[in-house]
Structures are given as C-alpha cells and as structure tokens.
C-alpha cells in the first residue's frame, strides 16, 4: 500500500492551493480600499456575504479532520448511526434560522459575549469570553491541527510536525484577509471537500463491489447493507456495544439536541457567518448548509462502513493495527492510499481544504472575541478601527502558534479526535445552552441565574461523570440511562448526562430568577417582535423538504 504522493497528486494539490490562495488575494484586494480598516467588515464581512457563501462557509468551518478521520472511524466501528450528528444538525439549523438568528440580528449582536453582556451583565460576558478563547484554542484549534497533520502524514508520508506548521501558515494566510476572504474562499474549499470526498466514497463502494465479484457503486452499497446489516441502524438497542456513545432514543429526543443547538446556535465561529447579513440572506444560507449536511454521511460515514466490510473480508489487517490493536480511525487514510495517482491528490486536497477552512474559521472567531470583547472593552476602549483590525491579525498568529506548540502535548490521538472534542465541550454546553435559551425567550431570567448555569452546569457535569465511582447506578439501567462498562461499573451515557445537566441548569435558573424577581431585580431585556419569526414561502418549502427527507431516512434506517 502506497502512503506517498506522486507528481500527479502534487500537481492537483498545487492547483487547489493556487486557486484558493489566488481567489482569496483577489477578494482581499478588491475590498481592501473600501473597507479593510473597518472592524465589523474585517471580523464579520458585514453585508457582503451571499447566501451561498454563508452556507458553504458554515459547512467548511464545521467539517474538518475530526469528521473525515474520526467520523469515518466511527462509521467503521458503529455504522450509519453516527450520521445522527450530521442529520440532526440539519434539523437544528432550521431551528437556529427560525428562532435564533432573528434575535441576534434584531438586537445587532455580533459576538456571543456581546449577547451575554447585553442580556445579563459584563461579568457573565467576560467569564464566557475567556472560557470560549480557552476552548477554541486548547480544544478546537489543537485537535484540528493535530488530527489534520496525522491524516496528511498517513497518506503522504510528510513529517507530522511539518504538516502542522504548513496547515497553520496556510490558515493564517486565509484568515488575515478577514471574514470576507474566509467566506468566499470557503466556497472553493467546500467544492474540493465534496468533490474529493465523493471520489473517495465512489472508489470505496467500487472496491466492495469488486471484492464480491460485481461492479458499480449501487451494487457495492447493496452488498454493504447485506454484509454489515448491523451497521445500518440509526437507533441502538440497550444491548448494543455502542449504546454508551449513542443511547437509543436520546439521539432523537434527548441530549443530541443540546449538542447541536449549542453548537449551531450559541457558537461564535458558526453563527458568525450569518451575523453580518440581513435576515433573508442569513436564513437562505443556513438552509443551504442544512441541505449540505444531509449529504455529509455519504462523504464521511459510508467510506468507514466500506472499510469495515473490506476488513471483515481480510483486507487492511496490518494497516489498521496500531500497537497490536485495531484502530478504526485509520479507516479513511487506508482508503485514500488505495486511490490512483491524481485522484489521491484530489482527495488529499479535499482533506486539506476541510482542515484549513475549519482552522481559519476558528482563528477568526478567536480574533473576534478577543478584539471586540476583551481588548476593546478592558484593555484599550479608545482603540481605533485600524488598531482593532491590527490586534485581530496579531491574535490570529498568536493563537495558531499556541495551537501548534501545545497540540502534541494533549494526547488527542489516544482519545480519538471526535470523542476528544465532544467530551470536553460537553462538560459546559448544557449550562451554556440553558443560559442562552432562557435568555432568549424568558424575560425574567436574571444574571445570577446565568452565573449558576455557567458554573453550576460545569460542576454538575463533573458530578455525573464521577458519580459511578461513588454509588451504584444499576437502577437506571431499566430506563436505559446506565450501562455497565468493562469493569462492571454502571455508567451514564454521555448524551444522557448532558440532558440531566441541562434540565438541572434550567430548573436552577428558574428558581434563582424567581427569587431575584421577588427581591426587585429587573433583568435586562432583548428586543423581540413576533413578526421577525415570520418565514418566507421559499424558506418554508425548503425547511419542509429537509424535514421530509429526515423522516424518510430515519424510517428506512431505524
């Protein structure tokens, strides 16, 4: 098996690099004289991103090495069920477009800390600004850099450390042009991402078909459903070995909603793509992103299942071993190494596009939060527009350097990238989401309640994580909320823990707010008008199509 790139591959990759870099430079120069000194234009591309650029940028920022490598590995291990993260995201995006984005735009909110400051107070906003900076640098930036470098190393043989530096430099080059450059280059990134990803899927399904004496991707898919029928169920029973990762109906009516609503609705580097547009454009962009989300399992999950079927037939026995144990995260790189010259370069470009676009999105959001919510408010309130843009660019470079330096020290590859990100963000997302959702839609919510959700949500997440070491939770097993691990200790599934913490956070916030209200505390309000939730006919039709497709998919693969 060849884990090196040849001349044709490098030519394809160089073509991709020149197209992205050249187009990014063109966009930068075209808009430079008119607006590059304006901070809102630099950080948000205010009023200049089209719906298709917003939608593509949302997907480019979201899809990265943890999907290509981690989700393909999960497809190898547990099958199509891992697609729930993608398909439920499509439903979540509809909710964000209908209910969240109108609130942000109506109140001229550009960053998540700004929302918290406007709705609660400066203390809550500053705590969360610092937290988000740490999370984006220590968890998101590092995991994407490290996993991306490992993936590129496995298919090209290029030194992992060198890969990290090259990825970081490429991402900095894109990010320094501002949100406008990121948004429009993301359209090209998504094109390469989808095209290269579909090529890999096509080759993988063909390999399965040929292994069983047939031809064609349709035949390959049919064989996969026959040979790995257990890998084509979306809802796991309690006796499934992967129940702890995806606990049954929780993916439809439980914690999966918290994961997605927090990620897509309360996340700076995601919502930032739509915050500089008008409502109609923002909603259209989010709708486009939702359609793209529906097709992501074709690119990041089916190859993993194909690798599983081939592995069961005796293929990749050596390549997928690491330290004497089977490593599912090697599934996607193994398939890439089977691609012919040229096509391998295309898939290599697709993987690089996903990594660089995601890095640029994170770096821009780190820059935005630090500059607008910390530097401008606490360090230099009199900073000019040009100074803020300059500080934003310095922040991008510093964040990327920190990411490169600390990524190898965190043991990301030992945890698995997808699990690494979900585990550490999951400790705080229930409390954050509770703080946002009540802040949006319950006028009585106070800043004390928000502080409880921030600190208490994290504390309760830790409590439920270590609770199995304190008491026997076997009584929860009958309800599907606990399952014994290898040592026989009953643990609560990760998504269920998030659901419990969210409910506790909401209850605590309601009680604290009611007590504060009786003491005469008057909460800060948001400007909300029912008319802003009204939907256009086009958006309504698109949303109904997405809902119909989701119902069909879950019905067929229940």
Residue 78 φ/ψ, nearest 5 degrees:
-120, -10
Domains identified in the chain, total number? 1
Q: DSSP class of residue 340?
A: P
pLDDT score of 273: 67
Q: Is residue 537 part of a domain?
A: yes
Q: Is residue 233 part of a domain?
A: yes
Q: Is residue 71 part of a domain?
A: yes
What is the sign of the dihedral through the CA atoms of 53, 54, 56 and 60? positive
Residue 202 φ/ψ, nearest 5 degrees:
-60, -50
Give the separation between CA 541 and CA 453, rounded to whole angstroms.
Answer: 37
Q: DSSP class of residue 491?
A: E
Instruction: Using CA atoms of 65, 67, 73, 76 in order, give the dihedral in degrees to the nearest 10.
Output: -150
Beta-bridged to residue 326, according to DSSP, are: 321
Mean pLDDT of the chain, nearest integer: 83
Alpha helices in 408-481 (DSSP H): 412-415, 417-426, 429-441, 447-451, 457-466
Q: Is residue 238 part of a domain?
A: yes
User: Whole-angstrom distance between the N-terminal and C-terminal Cα of the chain?
Assistant: 37
Q: Is residue 495 part of a domain?
A: no
pLDDT score of 179: 59
The string of DSSP letters for 162-226 reads: HHHHHHHHHHHHHHTT-HHHHHHHHHHHHHHHHHHHHHHHHHHHHHHHHHTT--SHHHHHHHHHH
- pLDDT tens, 42-101? 555 555 578 888 888 788 777 776 777 778 888 998 999 999 999 999 999 999 999 988
The string of DSSP letters for 120-169 reads: T-HHHHHHHHHHHHHHIIIIIIHHHHHHHHHHHHHHH---HHHHHHHHHH
With a cut of 70, list the residues of the chain below it in pLDDT: 1-3, 28, 31-48, 65, 177-186, 269, 272-273, 276, 322-324, 411-424
- Phi/psi-derived region of residue 437, left when phi > 0, alpha when psi is between -120 and 50, beta in every other case: alpha
Q: Is residue 511 part of a domain?
A: no
pLDDT score of 37: 46
Alpha helices in 337-384 (DSSP H): 343-368
Residues across the chain: 558
Q: Is residue 1 part of a domain?
A: no
Beta-carbon count within 10 A of 171 CB: 28
Beta-carbon count within 10 A of 21 CB: 14
Find, among 507, 414, 496, the residue nearest to 461 by Cα: 496
Question: What is the CATH number for 182?
Answer: 1.20.1730.10
Q: Is residue 536 part of a domain?
A: yes
- pLDDT tens, 196-234? 788 889 888 998 998 888 788 899 899 999 999 999 999
Q: Give the range of the structural domain holding residue 272, as residue numbers without chain letter.
A: 7-25+48-426+528-556
Give the separation between CA 402 and CA 153, rounded to whole angstroms.
Answer: 21
The b-or-e profile of 513-540 (16+ CB within 10 A means b, else e) is beebeeeeeebeebeeeeeeeeeeeebe
- Decide: 236 and 242 in contact? Cβ < 8 Å: yes
- pLDDT tens, 305-360? 999 998 888 787 777 776 667 778 778 888 877 778 787 887 778 777 778 877 88
């Amino acid at each position: 098996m060849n884990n090196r790139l040849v001349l044709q591959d490098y030519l394809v990759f160089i073509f991709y690099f020149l197209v992205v870099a050249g187009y990014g430079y063109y966009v930068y120069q075209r808009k430079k004289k008119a607006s590059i000194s304006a901070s809102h234009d630099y950080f948000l591309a205010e009023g200049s991103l089209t719906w298709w650029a917003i939608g593509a940028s949302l997907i480019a920022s979201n899809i990265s090495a943890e999907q290509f490598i981690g989700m393909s590995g999960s497809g190898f291990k547990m099958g199509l069920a891992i697609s729930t993260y993608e398909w439920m995201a499509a439903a979540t995006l509809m909710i964000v477009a209908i209910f969240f984005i109108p609130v942000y735009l109506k109140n001229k909110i550009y960053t998540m800390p700004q929302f918290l400051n406007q709705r609660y107070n400066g203390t809550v906003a500053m705590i969360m600004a610092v937290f988000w900076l740490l999370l984006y640098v220590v968890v998101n930036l590092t995991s994407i850099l490290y996993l991306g470098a490992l993936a590129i190393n496995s298919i090209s043989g290029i030194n992992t450390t060198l890969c990290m530096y090259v990825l970081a430099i490429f991402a900095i080059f894109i990010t320094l042009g501002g949100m406008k450059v990121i948004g429009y280059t993301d359209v090209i990134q998504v094109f390469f991402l989808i095209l290269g990803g579909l090529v890999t899927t096509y080759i993988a399904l063909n390999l399965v078909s040929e292994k069983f004496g047939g031809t064609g991707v349709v035949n390959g898919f049919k064989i996969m459903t026959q040979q790995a029928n257990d890998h084509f169920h979306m809802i796991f029973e309690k006796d499934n070995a992967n129940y702890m990762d995806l606990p049954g109906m929780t993916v439809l009516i439980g914690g999966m909603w918290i994961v997605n609503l927090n990620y897509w609705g309360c996340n700076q580097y995601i919502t930032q793509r739509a915050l500089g547009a008008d409502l109609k454009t923002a909603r259209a962009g989010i709708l486009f992103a939702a359609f793209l989300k529906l097709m992501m399992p074709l690119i990041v999950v089916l190859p993993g299942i194909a690798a599983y079927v081939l592995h069961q037939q005796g293929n990749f026995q050596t390549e997928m071993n690491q330290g004497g144990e089977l490593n599912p995260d090697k599934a996607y790189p193994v398939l890439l190494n089977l691609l012919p010259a040229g096509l391998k370069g295309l898939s290599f470009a697709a993987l690089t596009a996903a990594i660089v676009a995601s890095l640029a999105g994170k770096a821009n959001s780190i820059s935005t939060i630090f500059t607008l919510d910390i530097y401008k408010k606490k360090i230099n309130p009199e900073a000019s527009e040009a100074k803020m843009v300059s500080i934003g660019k310095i922040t991008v470079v510093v964040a990327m350097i920190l990411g490169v330096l600390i990524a190898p020290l965190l043991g990301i590859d030992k945890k698995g990238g997808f699990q690494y990100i979900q585990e550490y963000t999951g400790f705080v997302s229930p409390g954050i989401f509770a703080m946002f959702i009540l802040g949006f839609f319950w006028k009585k919510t106070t800043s004390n309640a928000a502080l409880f959700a921030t600190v208490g949500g994290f504390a309760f997440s830790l409590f439920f994580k270590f609770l199995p070491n304190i008491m026997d939770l076997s009584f929860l097993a009958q309800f599907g909320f606990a399952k014994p691990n290898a040592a026989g200790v009953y643990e609560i599934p990760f998504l269920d823990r998030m659901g419990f913490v969210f409910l506790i956070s909401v209850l605590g916030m309601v009680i604290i707010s009611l007590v504060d209200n009786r003491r005469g505390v008057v909460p800060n309000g948001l400007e909300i008008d029912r008319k802003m939730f009204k939907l256009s006919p086009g958006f309504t039709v698109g949303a109904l199509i997405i809902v119909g497709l989701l119902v069909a998919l879950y019905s067929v693969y229940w």
